[in-house]
Each structure stands twice: as C-alpha cells, then as structure tokens.
Structure 1
Amino acid sequence: MHETPVAIVTGAGSGVGRAIALKLAERGCRVVLVGRHAETLETTQSMIHRSSLVEVADLALESDRARIVQQTIDAFGRVDVLVNNAGMADMVPLADATTAQIRRSIEINGVAPVDLAARVLGAMKDQGSGCIVNISSYSTLDPFPGLGMYGCSKGAMNVLCRAIVNEYGDSGVRAYTVALGATETAMLRSLFDEEVLPSSQTISPDEVAGFVLGLIDDREGKRSGEVVCFPERDAG
C-alpha cells in the first residue's frame, strides 16, 4: 500500500486491544482507538507517536458503531485493518442468566463485530485490500462452566471470518478469528483469581498482539477464513 494504512481497534484502552494498537502504530499505521472510557484511550494514545484518533463509544449502540466507521473514513479516507477485540463476560450459569444479560452479551460480543465488519467491507472492497481480525475465545469451543453465555455470543465471530472470505476474498479482503486461551487481562481477573488460575498458566497481551500482527502481515493469507487458536489447539 502506498498510502499510510489505517486500523480500527476496539477495546483499545487496555489489555489485548492496547497491545495490538501499539504494535500496529509501530508498523506505521494510523490507529483509531475505540473504547468506553476516554481516560484509558487517551493513555493508549499518549504511547503512540503518530497520528491517531480516539473514539469513545458503547458498542452496544448502532449509532456509535456507525459513527466510528464514518469518523475514520472522514479523518483518514480509508480503512485497512479492523480488529474486533472488545468484549464482555459475565460469569453466570445459563439457567440463571437474565434476558437482559443475554441480549447485551450478544449485542457486544456478536452483533457489534458483525456490524463493524459490514460497515468497513465496502471501503476494503473498493481499495482492493483489507484485513479483519476477530478476537474470540477458547470458550467458543469448550466453555468453562459459567461462561456458556459468553461462548455463545462470541461464537458469531467464528462464522464471521469464513463468511467474509467467502463473499469478499476475491476482492482482496482477508479475515481471521483468533480464539484465545486464558489471557492476563483485567477481564480475566474479574472472573478468576490467582488461586484458581495462576498467571503461570496465562498468556500475555503482548504475546497475543505479536501473533495477531503476524496474521495481519501475511499478505498471502494462508490462514484467511480460519478460526486460529492461540496458543495452538484443535479448533474442531
């Protein structure tokens, strides 16, 4: 690409999203930092030494999702990378989950990534290139008790990457879903303490970011359309 690439990263205020945003900036991308809290996004922005954009948003709101993409195109004129990283998890047995909890989980973990992808695909098709990475979870394959609702809502991402490639792969668009094992983030620690899940058994946001950048950098798209587990395990 001759123009400076532009990347949208959701959940960029901390953890995996921040680590991915920083690595994309190091690779020369302009990064659009999306999250719910201005302070944490601005902290991420202060660590990036190039043009970037902060978008405070509630991804459960369609109007906010539309604004993110439109503001990105207005500011930079293109979208080269979308990283659907933001998510939420309630530790609750399925029989105890309220309809409101189920709906919000599906809206943020399922609807938002599909909607954001749909909104950037037109620009990527016109450019003849683009890459969408969805950050999913082992919970979509074998959910820990209490994380069934989370696994169900994240499962949409596993289908999304294949749907994108089937419909837009011939236009130069690549897509991946990365199903993560236990990753050392604030969300993980809100669910499991050190005694239940020692940090020695988790992976770091930086490790995840390095893996994701490897997929983004692979222009041949050898694994495009796949659900890729990190650390590696059978996604079947």
Structure 2
Amino acid sequence: MTGDMNDQHALVTGAGQGIGEAIARRLLAQGARVTVLGRRAEPLQKLVEQHPGHCQMVLADVADEAQVRAAFAQAAAVHGDIGILVNNAGQASSAPFMKVDAAHWQQMLAVNLTGTMHCIQQVLPAMSAAGWGRIVNVASTAGLVGYAYVAAYAAAKHGVVGLTRSLALEYARTGITINAVCPGYTETEIVRSSIDRVVAKTGRTPQQAMAEFVKSNPQGRLVQPQEVADTVQWLCGRGASSITGQAIAVAGGEVM
C-alpha cells in the first residue's frame, strides 16, 4: 500500500458496490485504514477479506441516527478517530411528481440528505480537535440541475450540496474541508437496473435504453466508478487543503 494516507482512518458509507466500493479500494490503496459501512454485511465482506487488518465493516442504516452513532463508535474503537468521511450511501427512485406520496418523499430525504447529516455530526468533534479532516459528500448532477421525474431525489441532492457549502463556511478555519462530488450517470448497478426497467416498460432494446442515459453526457458514455473515486481521493489528500465548499461535477461536461 502506497500513498499519503497511511496515518488516516477513513469511513465510506454505501461501500458495498459501485462508486462506494471504488472509493474504498482507492483509499485502501493510498494506505488508509478504511471502515466500510452499509446495511448488509455480505456486499462488504469481500473488501474486509481482501484487506485484513486494514479494512473493517460496520452495519447501519444511515437514516437511523442511533444506528449511525453506534456504528461510528464501533469504527473508532478499532481504527481510531475518523479523519476522512465519504458520504456515499444513497438511494434513487423515479416517479411523476403527482404520484410522489409523502412516504416516497421522506425516504429520498432520509437516506440522501438526513443520512449525510447524521454521519457528519459523528465526525466533526474529533476532526475539530485534531485540526484536520476531510469530508466528501457524493451528491449527483441532480444536485446541480433539475431532471424530470426525480423531483424528490433532486431535492435531496440539492440539499446535500447546500449542506456542503454551508458547513464548509462554518468550519473553514478549523483545518476541515467539506466538498461534494456530483457524478453524472455512472456505470453502476443502479443505472443497470434503471436500464432494465426502461426495457421492460417500453420494449426498447438495451442499447436503445442505454442511449437515453448517455445522450446528456457530451462525451457520449457513462462515467466509470473509478473516475469518481479519483476525484474523491484528490479531495481527501493534503494537497487539496484550499478546496472546500465545492460541488465538482464528474459528468463528461454535462454540467459546466
């Protein structure tokens, strides 16, 4: 393991697959001790088994404050105070706005926005005491622009960007940086499932359905999870000390 994170304990939420897994692997490669957090043990187990002594898992639903508090305490008891937090856990669901009920709305806010708040509150005291910390919130281009049929998700992700900017100002003199990364459509299980739903509902071929997802990206492709992980790694490094309060789009030029 090489890199400049040998003295850091990083915690990554939603690390069982896709972007979260790519981020956890990248931070492990940089020498960090990494705690991976998710709701289920099975998706996280492979990372723990592949990196014995350097990677541990804790289980929690980020929308549940008590579970988050217990999981973060467990993580710190093993690997020490958390100096890097990556809030990647999220959930996406689509529906026409007039079919969005209160339960759908609250679920999008609870997982994507309130869960981010719960996790940040667990790490700020120790980061402030240390005079150093890195918080990266994985938002979405839906946190920067609007998309039809995902009003609740977009509202939650806009909230994540607003939270990021406000906390960056509040903690600007503490040595803690707080940023957001906003991926466009990324080649993950969520997008693959969305393509399958389009095929099932419309009768389009998988290639036709894929074309709908990539047409908004000027590069004409899906973003790769490793590209998002690269950006997160940079923001977590010591060389990004002057970068805070930013919402960085990783989207092939879709958002400028």
Specify the structure having the higher radius of gyration (Cα). 2
Q: Is the 8 A contact 2:185 2:223 kept in 1?
A: yes
Residue 51 of structure 1: how far off its partner (Å): 2.0
In structure 2, the residue corresponding to 1:55 is in which secondary structure? strand
| Higher mean displacement: 96-105 or 47-56 | 47-56
User: Quick one: distance in 2 between partners of 1:109 and 1:172?
Assistant: 26
User: Quick one: distance in 1 between partners of 2:236 and 2:6?
Assistant: 17
1:149-205: per-residue Cα shift (whole Å, max 9, x none)?
A: 111111121012222221112110011101111101111122234422347620111
In structure 2, the residue corresponding to 1:107 is in which secondary structure? helix
Q: Is the 8 A contact 1:91 1:191 kept in 2?
A: no
Residue 3 of structure 1: how far off its partner (Å): 7.1
For the aligned residue pairs, the C-alpha RMSD in angstroms reads 2.0
1:196 aligns with one of 209, 220, 244: 209
Query: What TM-score do the two structures reach when normalised by structure 1?
Result: 0.92
User: Quick one: distance in 1 between partners of 2:246 and 2:143?
Assistant: 14
User: Quick one: distance in 1 between partners of 2:241 and 2:253?
Assistant: 20
Alignment of 1:102-113 (within 5 A): 102-113=105-116
Q: Is the 8 A contact 1:22 1:47 kept in 2?
A: no
Residue 56 of structure 1: how far off its partner (Å): 1.7
Residue 28 of structure 1: how far off its partner (Å): 0.8
Kindly indicate whether residue 220 of structure 2 is the aligned counterpart of residue 217 of structure 1: no
In structure 2, the residue corresponding to 1:177 is in which secondary structure? strand
1:157 aligns with one of 155, 160, 169: 160
1:29 aligns with one of 17, 32, 40: 32
Q: Is the 8 A contact 2:92 2:153 kept in 1?
A: yes
In structure 2, what residue type is equivalent to 1:229?
A
User: Quick one: distance in 1 between partners of 2:252 and 2:71?
Assistant: 32
Question: Percent identity over the alignment?
Answer: 29
Gap runs ≥5 in structure 2 = 197-205, 215-219
Kindly indicate whether residue 243 of structure 2 is the aligned counterpart of residue 230 of structure 1: no
In structure 1, the residue corresponding to 2:209 is in which secondary structure? coil
In structure 2, the residue corresponding to 1:159 is in which secondary structure? helix
Kindly indicate whether residue 83 of structure 2 is the aligned counterpart of residue 80 of structure 1: yes
Kindly indicate whether residue 36 of structure 2 is the aligned counterpart of residue 16 of structure 1: no
Query: What TM-score do the two structures reach when normalised by structure 2?
Result: 0.85
TM-aligned CA distance change 1:235 to 1:120, over 3 Å: farther
Q: Is the 8 A contact 2:6 2:32 kept in 1?
A: no
1:90-144: per-residue Cα shift (whole Å, max 9, x none)?
A: 1111210121111111010000101211221011000110000000111122333
Q: Is the 8 A contact 2:5 2:30 kept in 1?
A: no
Q: Is the 8 A contact 2:8 2:83 kept in 1?
A: yes
User: Quick one: distance in 1 between partners of 2:153 and 2:240?
Assistant: 32
In structure 2, what residue type is equivalent to 1:146?
Y
In structure 1, the residue corresponding to 2:89 is in which secondary structure? coil
